[in-house]
Chains A and B, each alone.
Chain A
Amino acid sequence: MTQIGEVALWLALLVAGWGAALGFYGGRRGRGDLVLSAERSVYAVFGLLLTASAAIITAFLRSEFRYKYVAGYSNRELGLFYKITGLWAGQTGSLVFWALLLALFGSIVMFQNRRRNREFMPYVAGTVLTVLAFFMVVVVFASNPFQLMDFVPPDGRGLNPQLQNYWMTIHPPTLYLGFTCFTIPFAFAVSALLSGRLDTRWITTTRRWTLLAWFFLTCGIIFGMMWAYVELGWGGYWFWDPVENASLLPWLTGTAFLHSVMIQEKRGMLKMWNVLLVIGTFLLSIFATFLTRSGLIESVHSFAENTTIAYIFLGFLGTLILISAALVWWRRHAFAAENRLESFLSRETAFLVNNLVFVAAMFAVLWGTTFPLVSEGVFGQKIQVGPPFYNRVNIPLGLILLFLLGVGPVIAWRKATPRNLKRNFAGPLAAFLLVGVALRIAGITNVYALLTFALAAFSMTTIVVEFWKGTRARAKIEGEGVAPAFIHLVERNRRRYGGYVVHAGFIICFCGFAGKAFNTERQAALHPGESIVIPSAFGHSYQLTYQAMSWYPAPNMTKLVATVEVKRDGRMLGLLTPEKRAYKQREEVTSEVGIRRAWNEDLYLILAGVDRADEFMRGTNPQPVVTFKVLVNPLVPWIWLGGFIMAMGTLVALWPAAEAVRATARATAREPVPAQLPGLAGA
């Protein structure tokens, strides 16, 4: 029965290829009937991919181990939840899943624009279907989830233990939602190039899609950090690992794009730059998908896996780059700017520098990530660069961004006058100095950390002042109370104030990153009853007492659990129970850390080793010596808080304003209405 999925994949390939050709041809020739067929192809591919995905999940649920994919990522004892998420547990399934999401978004876009933007839609359908066809080629010819083995193993290998974690099941789909979502603005950019309509229309139409993509990508990256933090068990959340970098790359250009489109909308500048940014973001999304799933970069020779896929992907990327470059070149005269930069001290400059910094950071990360490949190609020798490289380049860039984040939103357009500067920046500058000096006196000597906190104070002040000014002005004009004025203010300028909320979250995240400068760490081998004492940067002292060791079988695994009593400054906080888990199917051991979270710092406890564990489990060594590693990570909770605030802010900006919805309903057949309504801009 589940073989129907393979048929669906083949059909999806054919339909996508057919529709892509019709979309471009029909669009060029103005053949409405062909275009309609192309648009329907998008729906059809979605239906077919839904069928294929359902077949994969069914195969997981029914433990059909004759499929290599199912046998590789599942076993009989695996929980229902992880069987369903098996769809994206491995390379082959996740490529199908990627395509499914893209087909879903494509279908939504086709439906939304069934009467609007008709000059764009043939090419949008064509572009989306081309990408889908490419994924189908990979899936069908190089990485087929329905590949059968010539025998049926009695049980599967089971899911990798490190993936049996809540964050890990939600992290990949969230990232994929972000990657695929960026295809939509890209498709519109391509259609703008093909149709020659290079005004802001393609940008305003896809604004929500860009924000949605950014929302998913941001959440996906943060989920990945959370997963690394709780599951990898070394106390960090970011390794500058190629796979992590891959997800950061489109985020960097996507963020730059979100900012630079504002310049085009307000001032008619940077038109070509915006097209290039969105093309770049899409290409990096594809690159990220392929990098995370091919294992090309981290492979020592023997680790190399499915390299066929790598070559197909690189070929596809190369083709896309050539075609995009050719299109941009073809339309190069249509990008003339309507205005010029007038002054260094202007919002345009702040945005421009912001863009340059984001793109510079992207190139630095891309360079570092691909360097092993480059060096192997050029010198025949794989050379990697480590975290010091990334930190060295990106910390200063991050600080520039933190500064610009305070400047950009309040500095005047075109040319800032001294009066404008003084009025807007006197307060924030005072906050900068105050926090900087206070923390220096408090004993912080790390320059980067000091700068981070001081710049955070600077930028946060500008945001608070912006909210305050807007609320006060509205309260005065409309005669409202402060609270309703505040709510209406945000409601009527969602994009602007949502953006400020995102900025606030970003600032809080950065403070969290700076907390790393103050980590403390201890390691000791303890007999039952013995303690470790560890100080924290906030002046607390934690005492951890190892009480006992226990072990018990659980579904699919055996757990070894240490019970540790935690006191802070002599007061009892409770118990931590770090574990070692031995999984049956894979003969693997994983560590589950114990984390005691507070608003300002995490106590992070790793069960590093159990002396003579086998004798302990047989009962001949009832009180084993256990080695613990304990860390205090200051401000890590702020990263999660900041991430949450960023996500919320994006939702505020994304949510359709009530008026806009009505207006759009009225105007479905005519022009789309910009989401942003004229507000009380910084009155």
Chain B
Amino acid sequence: MKKQSKFVAGGVLLAGVVGYLMVTGMKDSMTYFLTPVELHQRVSANPAFAEQSGVRVGGRVVPGSVHFDQKTLDLRFTLVDIETGKTSFPVHYNGPLPDTFQEGRDVVVEGNYRPGGTFQASNVLTKCGSRYEAAESDFKGKQS
């Protein structure tokens, strides 16, 4: 009987260690998933929020706002809220242009919102194509 309880203790220990790793790991890598409007609300409610690392913002790339320097790989564009089309802010990113990145596309930027008002992105994600479903409207333009 005593042995069984030793095994239970062992199992509990393992669960505890894993639980600890999970909790601390969560703290390190939690990122809020926001829309530009929500980000704006958060920052105006609590300016310190801007310095927090780890925000993911989903929005639309404003047509005509994209500047990409092919030499330095500096990418600058404006991201706007998809639903309202109003709240927007400039984004800066350094790195290769993501493959499916385009004006008018919906993208997710990951990084920090700088007090100056620019979003410094450490990552720009485009919508993964494998899950992209064409809407009927996508074909309308091609109707001859």
Contact = CB atoms under 8 A, between A and B. Distances in A.
A587 B105 CA distance: 12
A558 B144 CA distance: 25
Interface stretch (A107-115, A504-512, A609-617): A609-617
Interface residues of A, number: 80
Given A300-B35, A364-B22, A392-B24, A357 B14 contact: yes
B83 interface: yes
Interface string B64-98: 00001011110000000011000000000001110
Interface string A137-172: 000000000000101011101001111000010000
A233 B24 CA distance: 31
B96 A591 contact: yes
Nearest to B27: A389
Interface in B1-54: 3-4, 6-7, 10-11, 14-15, 17-18, 21-22, 24-26, 28-35, 54
A590 B126 CA distance: 12
B99 A384 contact: no
Residue in A341, A357, A588, A629 whose Cβ sees the most chain B Cβ within 10 Å: A588
Contacts of A626: 70
A392 B28 contact: yes
Contacts of A389: 22, 25-26, 28-29
A315 to B, nearest CB: 21
A90 B133 contact: yes
Interface SS of chain A: mixed
Contact of A384 (B11, B56, B70, B136): B56
A58 to B, nearest CB: 20
B83 A383 contact: no
Given A154-B142, A163-B130, A392-B25, A302 B99 contact: no
Interface in A61-112: 65, 68, 71-73, 90-91
Nearest to A590: B99
A383 B31 CA distance: 5
A295 B14 CA distance: 33
Nearest to B57: A300
Contact of B73 (A384, A385, A523, A588): A523
B102 interface: yes
B127 interface: yes
Interface string B95-120: 11101101000101000000000000
A609 B68 contact: yes
A306 B133 CA distance: 9
Given A300-B108, A305-B133, A340 B4 contact: yes
A385 B138 contact: no
A356 interface: yes
Interface string A394-407: 00110000000000
Please tell me the size bucket of the interface on B.
Answer: 35 or more
B29 A385 contact: yes
A344 interface: yes
A525 B96 CA distance: 11
Nearest to A91: B133
A383 B29 contact: no
Contacts of B95: 608, 629
A386 interface: yes
B108 A72 contact: no
B28 A629 contact: no
A236 interface: no
Instruction: Point out which of B17, B33, B56, B95 has the most chain A C-beta atoms below 10 A from its C-beta.
Output: B33
A35 interface: no
A589 interface: yes
A558 to B, nearest CB: 15
Nearest to B75: A609
A119 interface: no
Contact of A625 (B7, B33, B68, B71): B71
A301 B35 contact: yes
Given A157-B139, A300-B108, A385-B31, A305 B131 contact: yes
A663 interface: no
A163 B21 contact: no
B130 A162 contact: yes
Contacts of B28: 388-389, 392
A357 B21 CA distance: 13
B14 A149 contact: no
Interface string A342-370: 11100001001100110010011001000
B82 A302 contact: yes
A476 B80 CA distance: 77
Given A160-B132, A305-B133, A341-B3, A367 B22 contact: yes
Contacts of B106: 300, 302-303
A393 interface: yes
29 contacts: A71-B139, A91-B133, A151-B143, A155-B142, A157-B139, A162-B100, A163-B129, A168-B130, A298-B131, A300-B33, A301-B82, A302-B82, A341-B3, A343-B3, A360-B15, A360-B18, A364-B18, A367-B22, A381-B32, A384-B32, A396-B17, A523-B73, A588-B99, A589-B97, A591-B96, A608-B73, A609-B68, A625-B70, A627-B96
Interface of B: 3-4, 6-7, 10-11, 14-15, 17-18, 21-22, 24-26, 28-35, 54, 56, 58, 68, 70-73, 82-83, 95-97, 99-100, 102, 106, 108, 127-134, 136, 138-139, 142-144
Given A241-B128, A357-B14, 10 more contacts: A305-B133, A341-B7, A367-B22, A383-B31, A384-B31, A385-B30, A389-B29, A609-B70, A609-B97, A629-B96
